[in-house]
Every structure is written in C-alpha cells, then in structure tokens.
Structure 1
Amino acid sequence: MKTIGLLGGMSWESTIPYYRLINEGIKQRLGGLHSAQVLLHSVDFHEIEECQRLGEWDKTGDILAEAALGLQRAGAEGIVLCTNTMHKVADAIESRCSLPFLHIADATGRAITGAGMTRVALLGTRYTMEQDFYRGRLTEQFSINCLIPEADERAKINQIIF
C-alpha cells in the first residue's frame, strides 16, 4: 500500500472527509481492520486565509509547496490537497514537489463526464467561482460548461463557507 500525503487544514473541517473517505475506501477494498497509510500536514488556516484576503497567492503557494516537500521527506508517495480553493496554487506545489499530485478539478471532471454531463453549476468560495483556475481547467480539459451564481449569490455562498 502506498502512503498518501494530505495537505489539509484549510479548513480542518474540510480535511476530515478526505481522511474518512480514503479510509472507508481502503476498508471496503481490503476488509477487516485495514486502514490507509496517510501522512497529514495541517496548516494554520488563519495564515492561509489572511494571504487569500490580501491577494498574496505566491506566499500561499510557498507555504503549501514547503508542506508538500515535508510530506515527501516523511515518506509520502503522492499528494492530495484537501481543499478546492487552494488549487489556485497547485502549479507552485507541482513545480517544487516531484510526487504525483491529484488535482481535484481533474477528479471532478472525470466524475462529471463519467456521469454524461457537460454543463454543471459550480459552487465554492468566491475565488473558486470567480477565478479561472478551477472552472478553466474543467472547460479546457473536459469541455465542461460551468455555470456560476450571480454576484450577490456568490457573496452569500462565500459568507456561508467562511
């Protein structure tokens, strides 16, 4: 079994389902008391959110790339980023860490196309809904048309998330 490196803490609440679902998948596949070999680096979300708010995306990329390198040194064999929004800096992580990186938009795109859909509603933080790092990848790599809410609805959704 390979060791998965989880980059989490953005928020810690959103990291929990990744750990749970990975372990449920292992239990379903292997049975008994088997569980996943997981390394978790949980960052301080306060620092990440502050960088987001200030537009300091390069700094968040540095923080997460360093965390990924730490997971690599600890023995991880692949990286999963446990948040949608921070995939905005996925390139910074992938360019500095040589481990395979599971991009959430790729997994999402495969699930959407596998279900026979080509048009979906995209909900998330305002960064995820308004910027191109997620929506653009779905469009360019999977020919998926993403619908986003109106500005006032996006603001409300973002407020609910944060």
Structure 2
Amino acid sequence: MRKLGLIGGMSWLSTRTYYSEINRLVQRKLGKHASAPMAIESLDYRSLNNLESDEDWARATQQLVDAARRLEAGGAERIVITANVMHRAYDDVVDAVDTPVLHIADCTAHRLEAGNIGKVLLLGMRSAVSEGYLRDRIEQRGVKILPMNASDIEEVHRLIVEELKLGKASRDAERKLKTIITVSEQAGAKAVILACTELEMVVDVDANILPIFDTARIHCQAAADWAMSDKAES
C-alpha cells in the first residue's frame, strides 16, 4: 500500500472522520487486519478558525504549506487536506511540494458527473459557499450550484462554527438544515453537497428528501482507492 499524508486538526472531529473512514474502506477491501499507512499533521485549530482578513488567510496558508512539506519529508506519497474551507489554500500547497494533493471538489464533481446530477445545493461555511475555490471546480464539470440567500448562508456558517465544530448536534440545527434542503428541492435542486465534514452530524445522508453527496466521505474513498491501487498506476 501507498502512504497518505493528512493535514488535519480543522477540526479534530473532521480528522477523526478521515482516519476512521479511510481505514474502514481499506479494511473492507483488504481484510479485517488491514490499515492504511498514514502520517497526520494535526494543526491547532485556534489559529485556523474564523479566518477573515487577507492577513489571516496568508498566515493559515503558510501553516498548511509547512505541514505539507513535513508530510512530504516524512514519505507521504499523496497529501489530503481534511477540510473543505482550507482548500482555499490548495494552489499554494500544490506549488510548495512535489507530492500530489488530492482536491476534494474534483473528487465530488466526478461523482456528481457520474450520477448525471445537474443542479445541486452546496452547504458549508461562508467562504466555501460564496467563493469560487470549490464552486468553480464543480461547475466546470457541468454541475449547476443553486444560489442560497444570504441569511441561510450565515445561519449555516454560524451552526458549523458555534455548534458542530465543538461536537454539538442540536435538534434545532437538524430542523434548520432540513428546511433549507426542502426549499432547495422546491427550487429545482436534485442533490445536496455537504461541503463541511461536521454537517453529517445533523444531516442524515441515508434518509433525506434529496440524495446527499458528502464531500469528506467521497474524498476518503478517493484517498483509500489511491492508497490501495497498484504503484504502477498514477
């Protein structure tokens, strides 16, 4: 098997999901005693939370670049950033290392394209929904992301930051997300993209009004498939 390098700590709950899900997928294919070779750079989320200014993002980006370099030096053969929002720094990380970096939006767009999904609702933190670093890569595959109203964007962002990233999953959050998804279905959405790992805490990915595409789990599947693939393959 090939060694993965995970940049984590954004939050540690997300990192736990990646570690357990990748190993679960490996075990399912290779047997109950199998586990994936991995190195994890778990960063301090206090310095990566609520990034607003260009200076904040420059500092955070440098932390990811430094983490990627350490993973590369430690023998990681592919790097995975375990947070949708931190893919805002993806290009800088790619430029800093020779090791390939697996983009979460590319994996998700490929799955949507394979399922012939035309219109989707994108749920995540404010920058993940409003900026282009996820949206553009998804829409390049012919998938249309439906617009959200500003109040819903802010409410989902608040729930993620103030509740989910602290491990809290309230009934109120479940109801609010269900309402947003129902309204999007009425507006023509054919599926929902969960662009925040912690959203699975309040969105039932198996029993919902629309199909749910969980970016983290799709990302984990792609990482596990690569780790288990023949080294002669790309």
**Which TM-score bucket, shorter chain as reference?**
over 0.9
Q: Which residue of 2 aligns with 1:19?
A: 19
Alignment of 1:3-82 (within 5 A): 3-49=3-49, 52-55=51-54, 56-82=56-82
- Three-state SS of the structure 2 residue aligned to 1:49 is coil
Identity of aligned residues (%): 32
Could you list the per-position Cα deviations for residues 100-122 of structure 1 after superposition, in whole angstroms to 9, with x for gaps in the alignment? 11000000001111111021100
Could you list the per-position Cα deviations for residues 63-83 of structure 1 after superposition, in whole angstroms to 9, with x for gaps in the alignment? 101100001111111100000
CA distance in 2, matches of 1:64, 1:110: 25
Q: Which residue of 2 aligns with 1:160?
A: 159
RMSD (Å), alpha carbons: 1.1
One-letter amino acid matched to 2:148:
P
CA distance in 1, matches of 2:112, 2:119: 9
5+ residue gaps in structure 1? none
CA distance in 1, matches of 2:109, 2:17: 19
One-letter amino acid matched to 1:145:
K
5+ residue gaps in structure 2? 162-234
Which has more helix, going by share of residues?
A: 1
CA distance in 2, matches of 1:24, 1:16: 12
Give every structure 1 segment of 4 or more consecutive aligned residues whose post-TM-superposition deviation is greater than 2 Å: 53-56
Change (3 A) 1:8 1:148: farther
One-letter amino acid matched to 2:59:
K
Q: Which residue of 2 aligns with 1:145?
A: 144
Change (3 A) 1:46 1:148: farther
Count of residues in Structure 1 that have an aligned counterpart in Structure 2:
160
CA distance in 2, matches of 1:59, 1:119: 35
Q: Which residue of 1 aligns with 2:114?
A: 114
Shift of 1:46: 0.8
One-letter amino acid matched to 1:26:
V
Contact 1:80/1:101, CA 8 A, preserved across alignment: yes
Normalising to structure 1: TM-score of the pair? 0.95
Normalising to structure 2: TM-score of the pair? 0.66
Q: Which residue of 1 aligns with 2:100?
A: 100
- Three-state SS of the structure 1 residue aligned to 2:14 is helix
CA distance in 2, matches of 1:100, 1:148: 32
Could you list the per-position Cα deviations for residues 45-70 of structure 1 after superposition, in whole angstroms to 9, with x for gaps in the alignment? 111125x1333222221110110000
